[in-house]
Amino acid sequence: MAEFYKKNDDTEADLHDHVTITFVEEWEQAKDFEAMLKANDIPATLHEQLSPEANRPGYAVMVPPDFLDEARVMIELQNAEDAFYDLMFDDEDDFDNEHFEDDF
């Protein structure tokens, strides 16, 4: 089986100086993570590769080791926020109006 690899703007040597902070399957989510990290002065790189667990194509979000802890916290907070909003707003049909009625 051919190895799935797409070279991006970074050189191979640059990628060896980075560690993977998270792996996502969707390009938009990878770009969102990259933008969030860069907006907070954390250098971030995306690398297209196979998922380590499922052998599916996706994107590794990578940072230099010195930024690993800070980046991990930011990614975890973003994932928790996304999960909260998914729970609260994606299943609008699960809410019935009785929870929102006044008891007056």
CATH of the domain at 45: 3.30.70
- DSSP letter at 94 equals G
**Per the domain annotation, does 101 fall within a domain?**
no
**Per the domain annotation, does 98 fall within a domain?**
no
- DSSP letter at 98 equals G
**Per the domain annotation, does 3 fall within a domain?**
no
**Per the domain annotation, does 99 fall within a domain?**
no
C-alpha of 51 from chain center: 13
What phi, psi does 65 have (nearest 5°)?
Answer: -55, -30
C-alpha of 28 from chain center: 9
Neighbouring C-beta atoms of residue 57, cutoff 10 Å: 13
What phi, psi does 56 have (nearest 5°)?
Answer: -110, 150
- pTM of structure: 0.66
**Per the domain annotation, does 100 fall within a domain?**
no
Please give the structure tokens belonging to residue 15: 């990628």
Q: Residue 83: which domain range?
A: 12-90
List per-residue pLDDT tens for the chain, 104 residues long: 333 334 444 445 466 789 999 999 999 999 999 999 999 999 999 999 887 677 788 999 999 999 999 999 999 988 888 788 877 876 555 555 555 556 55
